[in-house]
Structures are given as C-alpha cells and as structure tokens.
Amino acid sequence: MALTGKWWIALLSIAVASGGDKETPPFKPGPAGSYPFRQTLEKVTVATAAFRSDADIQTAFGKLNPYHYGILPVLVVIQNDSAKTLSLDKLKLELVTPDRDHIEPTPAAEVRYLRGASEPGPVVMGPPIPGLPARTSHKKNPLDAWEIEGRAFTARMLPPNESASGFFYFRAFYRSGSILFLQGVREASTGRELFYFEIPLDKQSSE
C-alpha cells in the first residue's frame, strides 16, 4: 500500500522522536581543580567524584542509573601539569570504606554481566510441563548499555599540560567516609612511579 506524503512525515517524526529518547546528552567533565575532592603530587592532580543521585547520573548515563543496581560510578580526572609524559596503563584503584574494606573496580566491559538482587535474569513463566523445557523470558540487563564502556576511563598515556578522565565502577553502595586509593602513575620515560594518591569522596572522609 502506497503511503501519502502526510503519512511519511508522521512516521519520520515518530522515528526521530524515538531516536532522540535513546540519546544521552554529551558529558564533559570539568577540570581537576573544579572538584572539591582532589590531591596534587609533583604537579599531578587527581580529582574524584562519586555519582549517586539521579541528577548527577543523568548528565553521564542518561536514564540509566547504575547505582540502582549496586554499581557505584566514580569519576576520576587526572591533570598533568608537570613537564613529563605520564604512563597510566598500570593504574590500580581501590575504594576503601570506613571499615577499611578494599574494593577493586569491575572492568567496564564486565559490568554488563553482573547479576544482583535487582538485576533481571531468566524468569520462569510457570511450572514446567513434564517432557517439555520450562519457558523462560530473557530480559536485557539494564547495565548492558553503551554508556558504561563509553564513559569509562581508558587513557594509557598523559602528555604534559593535558588531562584524562573517565569512570571506574565499583560493586558497592556508597558509605560516607570512604576514600579512593590510586597508585600506578608513572613517568613514561623512566618508569618511576609517583607516590600514591588518597582522595576523600566526601567532607567526612577529608576531616
């Protein structure tokens, strides 16, 4: 059946509206010095910000809030104001709770496979019939979204007077007084490692 011009316009409008709903607004972290929780060593500044609220999350992940599924996204911004190129390929991070629990980040590529109490999985649609397999419904894990890897920290080298930023994902709920422990920042030319960074995630942990 041929479609008139009005029908084509209506369908195009629906397609554009549907596509727009799936887009996430551009996310651009601020400079390291703009974040309240940061530390500077040898002219290298590391700033952190834990994203939990819907308002903060929406700026980076749109409608997806990883924290609702037990995943705490922590933004890390590294500013290199030194005269040397830094190697970041061996960064090691830990979220340290007030009870001194040390939680390592989950690689961004593996977040989509995490399963928890709030995460969907195969759902049995009724009792199995003898001789037939049980019917299941495989729902998409909401954590399987491009923003998780697309917003992740991926920089491996950091030239002088440049900055790098991105998220690390911790399978944990936020606790006031937590800190981020970061080590493995090295001078690319010599391999010398800078002293480790301990950055608070809130005012209580900085006191």
Calpha distance 80→75 (Å, rounded) = 17
Q: What is the pLDDT of residues 23-35, one digit of tens each?
A: 555 789 999 999 9
How does residue 90 score in pLDDT terms, banded at 50, 70 and 90?
very high
Burial group, residue 58, by CB count within 10 angstroms (0-12, 13-18, 19+): middle
Q: Is the pLDDT of residue 72 over 60?
A: yes
Decide if 25 contacts 62 (C-beta within 8 A): yes
Q: What is the pLDDT of residues 112-133, one digit of tens each?
A: 988 643 343 333 333 444 444 4
How does residue 170 score in pLDDT terms, banded at 50, 70 and 90?
very high
Q: Computed from CA positions of residues 88, 62, 33, 204, in that sequence, does the dihedral angle turn out positive or negative?
A: negative
CATH topology of domain 27-206: Immunoglobulin-like (2.60.40)
Calpha distance 64→121 (Å, rounded) = 18
How does residue 135 score in pLDDT terms, banded at 50, 70 and 90?
very low
Q: What is the pLDDT at residue 206? A: 60
What is the pTM (predicted TM-score) of this model? 0.77
